[in-house]
Structures are given as C-alpha cells and as structure tokens.
Amino acid sequence: MITRYIPVGVLFLISSVTSAQAGTFYVDARHGADTNNGMSIRTAWKTLRRVNHAHLVPGDHVLFRSGNVWRGSLIPDASGSAGHPIVFARYGKGPLPLIAAGGKAKDAVRLYNVQYVEVRSLAITNHGKTTAVRRGVDVVLDNFGTAHDIVIEDLYIHDVNGTPKQKDDGGIVFQSLGRKVPSRFDGLYIRRNIIWKVDRSGIVARSSNVARSRWFPSLHVVISDNFLDDIGGDGIVPWTTQGAVVKWNIAKRCSQRFHQYNAGIWEWSADDTFFTMNEAFDTKSTRDGEGFDCDYNSRGTHFYRNFSHNNDGGFMLICTPINHSTAVNAGNSGSVVNENISHDDKGLLVNLSSAVNVTVKNNRFYVGPQYHVDFLTNKWGGWSNNVWIVDNQFFIKGAGSVTFGHGVKRMSNGSYLIAPGWGGVTNLHFVGNTYSGTVLNWPKQSPMRDAKGPRPVDINWSSEPMFNPRHPLDYPAYLKAHHAWMVRLFQTVFPSPTAPRNPPRK
C-alpha cells in the first residue's frame, strides 16, 4: 500500500515516506476530503490546494471527477521522468471536470519549470470582471535549461478575457525565458484542444531567445488538431522553434476584438516550420487579417496544403524588415508556399513584403463575384529578391477581379494603395501562372497569358462539417469528419501532388 501522503493540518506536511512507487489519486470536489489519502474514488481528495501541495513522483496520475467544478488554479510543481510522466486527467462519465480561475489568478493551469508532465481532458476558464493578463494554460520555463515531453491535449478552454495589450495571454501560452540559463522545450505536444472565446491569443509562445545572437530554439514542437473559435487576436503563433510542425488545426474567427496586426496561423522567429492541412477562416481586420502569415526572423518556412477562406486581410503575408541587425533578425528566407487553396479571401491574396528566396507555387485562388482583391509586393525597408511565383491558378467569377501590383502607400485601415508593376523587387520569376476572369496589371514577366485559363474544379464548399464548441464532447467525431473532408478537398483540387523541398538558405 502506498503511504506517501500524510496530511498534517492545512499545510499537508509529509511526515513519512514508505514508498515512492507511482500511484493514482482521485479528486472529487463534491464528496472528497483533503484529509483522505486520495488513493481511491471513495477516499478522494477535494481541493486544488491539496493537489498543488501533493508530493507527486514520476508515473503518478491525478484524476479529477467528471462533472465537478474547482475554483482556483492547478499549479503542480513536480516533474515526471522519461517514460513515466505525471498525468493530470479525468475519471468518470459526463461533462469534463472544470477548473475555473474566475479571473483571480493569471493562470488557471500553470506548469512552471517542470517536465515530463501531461495535462488532458479538463475544461478550463479564467474570466474576470475586467480584462487583465489571463491565461487558460501557461507552460513556463524560466532559467531552467531544456525541458522534455510536455503534453497539453484534449482540453476545453473557453471564456478567458485577457488583455489586448500583450499577445502572450489567452488560451495556451508556452514560454521559454531566462538570461542566465537559456531555456527551451524538447518535446512539446499541443493536441486536440478546443479554444473558444479567449483573448488575446489562442495558442501562442514567448521567448527570451529570439535574437540570433542568443538563438536557442525549442525542438520537437507539434501543434495539431486544435479547434479555435472567437479569438480576440492571433490564432496560433509558435516562437523560437526549430522544425515545429503545425498541422490539422482549425482557426475560425480570429482577430475578432483587437485589430492590432493579427492573423490566423503564423510563425515568428522560427526555422523550418512546416504548416500543413490547417484551415483558417473568417479572420477580421485588414491589420493584418490574413488566414496565414510567414513572418520574419524565420528561415525555411513551408506552407503546404492549407485552406484559407473568407479572411478580411486575405490569404498570405510573407514579410520581414530589411533594415535590421543580423544579430537580431535572420530575415525571411527560403520560404515555400505551395498547393494551398484560397477561397473568397478578401483584401490581399498574397502580400510579399521584403522576403528573399521565396517560392509561391501551384496554389489555387478562387475569387467570388463580389470581391476585388490584390496580389502585391511591398517594401519594408527594402524590396524582395529572388522570388518565384510559378504555376498558380486564379479563378475569378463574374464581376470579381484580381489586381497585380506593388504597394505605394498603406492606408489607415491597413489596406494598400496599389500601383502597376513589382516595384523594386529583383530577380522575380513569374512563370506559368494562369487565370480565368478579370485581372488587372497582369505581369509582363509571364510567358503565358491565357485569358480563358483552366476550368475551376467543381467543389461542394458547403459540405464541410461544422462544430459547435458549446458541445465539446462532440469534438472527436467532428475532427474525424473534418479530416476526411479536407483530404477529399485536396485530392479533388490537386490530384497529382507535388511537394517541393525548401530552397537552400542564403
């Protein structure tokens, strides 16, 4: 019998330890008691305070009873070990167990300087009377070094009213901080979470190691199968990562309240990020307001087979400031955007701003009869160099149109005044692109100007499965159906896939 936990008064002091073997501990907010040993459903603990003070060891499982509510924050301070994580999850049937911070703490769940920890199958809220820095889940490394294998999955995070003043609050935040001991994640898995009605960001990172002079990126970061809806600012934004994979996520209605240069899904200060089979739609604002963004201090980013539609700012921003210190910013180079679908995006289909060695290839742009959109190059301290815009197809219906050109002035609402031509872009290759419908300023670089263009693929756009985040237990079935729908969509539009490797960095 495990007797690791002997509470004494309110401090729960441990007076004896006769076994350090892993155990399963139960928490029941209605029928438990903190004076219990927690080792069975009948002798469950009661409060988050008891859990936070528990002396957990590798392999322990702490299970919260379904349908119960806990007021406060879950703040464990113990780590597991390789192959023996500490797991926080649920037991029983019914609604997910709810941790409700009530706006009284910055974080409803906080993992601080721990590793080999898994948090899954919980509902989480953090809503206060006024906006402030608030998060659902905050995973923090502070002068820690390298932390391994942290899993955040199957959570239902909703109603977090964070502040618009900083990006690192909202649903799930992962932070690698520290000037004395650089910190990073090696194995961070954020999977199958529902994030609904949160401010400011959905899933976002923060790091002290973004500058190239002290570059220390996180490794093996995977953000997959998450559903985000009604997000005040950005949807998904990994920072300071090497080789992160962002796949099968749905970002719906981002930038709903804070129109301060947000986008649906993007990266910043990250190398070799791979985005695939993500969907971003109904992003608001033209600052920036795109479904996807390939941002600066990043090399070798690859957007392959993503679906963008009905975003105010358009499909894709590819950008970097040119006037920068290489000790701080590596620019934006070696990015590839291929075999993506943009359907009825507004504003700018593509905004290419000062990046180098960029390939935009074999994408499909569907423009409805009510939309007049732009495909442009833009100057951010300088112009782009070595750009390949190849084999893209533009399908414009009715009175809709696409204007090609370069930005000469940014308006107060974030949109651009457009002039013909590519501006000061050098080594631009516009080859094999075709269109049907109305285009303006079709580039002279193209050896093929086909006014008829290819026939658009007949797609039943309205057949996409829908999900109501008010019913989180329906999510697994929706996710399965959405996967199948996305596969059919891309098989229809791209029956012969081509996935080029990223061009070499320069």
Q: pLDDT per residue over 120-169, tens digit each? A: 999 999 999 999 999 999 999 999 999 999 999 999 999 999 999 999 99
CB-count exposure of residue 471 (10 Å: 0-12, 13-18, 19+): exposed
Decide if pLDDT at 448 tops 60.
no
Decide if pLDDT at 53 tops 60.
yes
DSSP-derived secondary structure letter, 28: -
Helix or strand holding residue 166 (H, E): none
d(C-alpha 353, C-alpha 293), whole Å = 11
DSSP-derived secondary structure letter, 493: H
Q: Which two tokens stand for residue 173?
A: 């935040």
CB atoms closer than 10 angstroms to residue 295? 23
Distances (CA, A) of 478 to 291, 465, 469, 485: 21, 7, 11, 10
Helix%, strand%, coil% for the chain, nearest 5: 5, 40, 50
| pLDDT more than 90, % of the chain | 84
List, in sequence order, every beta strand (DSSP E) within 98-238.
Answer: 98-100, 107-112, 117-120, 123-126, 135-142, 146-153, 156-161, 170-177, 184-191, 194-199, 201-207, 218-224, 227-231, 236-237
What is the residue whose two structure tokens read 């910043």? 268
Decide if pLDDT at 5 tops 80.
no
Query: Which of 270-279, 382-391, 413-422 shows the lowest per-residue confidence on average (mean pLDDT)?
Result: 413-422
pLDDT at position 498: 66
Query: Which of 74-88, 236-250, 312-326, 389-403 shows the lowest per-residue confidence on average (mean pLDDT)?
Result: 312-326
pTM of the full structure: 0.93
What are the structural domain ranges in the chain?
A: 286-478+491-501
Average pLDDT for the chain: 92
Secondary structure of residue 68 in the 3-state scheme: coil
pLDDT digit string (tens) for 72-110?
999 999 999 999 999 999 999 999 999 999 999 999 999
d(C-alpha 315, C-alpha 346), whole Å = 8
Whether the CB-CB separation of 373 and 345 falls below 8 Å is answered with yes
Distances (CA, A) of 490 to 3, 37, 305, 336, 342: 56, 54, 7, 18, 12
pLDDT digit string (tens) for 340-376?
999 999 999 999 999 999 999 999 999 999 999 999 9
pLDDT digit string (tens) for 10-41?
333 333 333 468 999 999 999 999 999 999 99
Nearest to 4 by CA among 21, 23, 22, 17: 17
Amino acid at 18: T
pLDDT at position 500: 52
What is the longest distance spanned by two Cα atoms in the chain? Answer: 83
CB atoms closer than 10 angstroms to residue 191? 17
Query: Quick one: pLDDT band at residue 464, thresholds 50, 70, 90?
Result: very high
Query: Quick one: pLDDT band at residue 469, thresholds 50, 70, 90?
Result: very high
CB-count exposure of residue 177 (10 Å: 0-12, 13-18, 19+): middle
pLDDT at position 499: 56
Decide if pLDDT at 6 tops 60.
no
Decide if pLDDT at 487 tops 60.
yes
Decide if pLDDT at 386 tops 60.
yes
pLDDT at position 476: 98
The whole-number average pLDDT for the span 219-227 is 98
What's the CA angle centered on 215, arms 214 and 218, to 5 degrees? 135
Q: Which two tokens stand for residue 438?
A: 């109305």
Nearest to 322 by CA among 273, 412, 385, 271: 385
DSSP-derived secondary structure letter, 346: -
The whole-number average pLDDT for the span 46-50 is 98
pLDDT digit string (tens) for 316-348?
999 999 877 777 899 999 999 999 999 999 999
pLDDT at position 191: 98
Cβ neighbours for 139, distance < 8 A, ≥ 6 positions apart = 111, 150, 152, 172, 173, 174, 175, 185, 188
- Residue of higher predicted confidence among 443 and 240: 240
List, in sequence order, every beta strand (DSSP E) within 369-497.
Answer: 372-378, 385-390, 393-396, 401-410, 416-419, 426-431, 434-436, 438-440
